[in-house]
């Protein structure tokens, strides 16, 4: 089944206007919890987490008038499934400004599932510096944690079964904004 056919059989859970609304809410929550945004750094986890981090940075700047540093955090070499999946190209980690020491780092990802991606991100972050605090913002939390990890900021809690799959589409990568829910295919289950 090709990707287009697969996404056609999925039902939308969030549309473009919903995604914009939840990102605005998350930005307000970050400002409220951080009491401003002066020492906030957003690090997106590739691929879609980077786009979401950039969007959050723009919304934070609208709210606070402060330009928010945004970068990306490649976790490829920190994943615990390296030997179980095909080889991946190592991406770039881009840390904005001088460093992350003493800063509030908000990791940004599209979907929180088992928690393993975030564990890898925390390991990678530890090799880059010592932030004052680390928080997690996700567009979708679908449950099924395998590790004790919880997001600080959640766009949508979406209880799912293990037979379901969540697909985030963003304009920058996919040509449209949507969160889709569907049944896991045999091909997707092997990924």
Q: Can you give the three-state secondary structure of 43-111, one letter per residue?
A: EECCCHHHHHHHHHHHHHHHHHCCCCCEEECCCHHHCCCCCCCCCCCCCCCECCCCCCCCCEEEEEEEE
Q: Assign 128 a pLDDT band (cuts: 50, 70, 90).
A: very high
Averaged pLDDT for residues 17-30? 99
- pLDDT for res 130: 95
When the pLDDT of each residue in the chain is averaged and rounded to a whole number, the result is 91
What tens digit of pLDDT does each residue of 38-76 get?
A: 999 999 999 999 999 999 999 999 999 999 999 999 999
Structure tokens at 103: 């800063």
124, 73 Cβ separation under 8 angstroms: yes
Structure tokens at 112: 């929180």
Residue of 93 and 104 predicted with greater confidence: 104
CATH code assigned at 114: 3.40.50.2020
Residue of 179 and 7 predicted with greater confidence: 179
Sign, CA torsion 159/162/12/155:
positive
- For residue 155, give the DSSP letter: E
Do the domain assignments include residue 148? yes
Do the domain assignments include residue 102? yes
Count structural domains, the chain.
1
Averaged pLDDT for residues 99-116? 96
Do the domain assignments include residue 95? yes
Global pTM reads 0.90
Domain of 50?
15-160
């Amino acid at each position: 089944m090709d990707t287009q056919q697969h996404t056609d059989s999925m039902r939308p859970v969030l549309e473009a206007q919903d995604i914009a609304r939840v990102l605005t809410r998350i930005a307000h929550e970050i400002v409220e919890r951080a009491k401003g945004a002066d020492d906030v750094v957003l690090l997106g986890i590739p691929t879609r987490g980077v786009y979401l981090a950039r969007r959050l940075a723009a919304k934070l700047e609208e709210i606070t008038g402060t330009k928010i540093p945004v970068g990306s955090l490649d976790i490829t070499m920190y994943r615990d499934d390296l030997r179980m999946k095909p080889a991946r190209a190592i991406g770039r980690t881009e840390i904005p400004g001088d460093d992350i020491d003493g800063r509030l780092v908000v990791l940004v990802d599209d979907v929180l599932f088992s928690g393993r991606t975030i564990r890898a991100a925390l390991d990678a972050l530890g090799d880059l510096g010592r932030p004052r605090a680390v928080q997690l913002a996700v567009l979708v939390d679908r449950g099924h944690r395998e590790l004790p990890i919880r997001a600080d900021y959640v766009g949508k809690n979406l209880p799912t079964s293990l037979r379901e799959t969540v697909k985030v589409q963003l304009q920058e990568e996919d040509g449209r904004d949507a969160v889709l829910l569907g049944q896991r295919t045999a091909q997707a289950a092997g990924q």
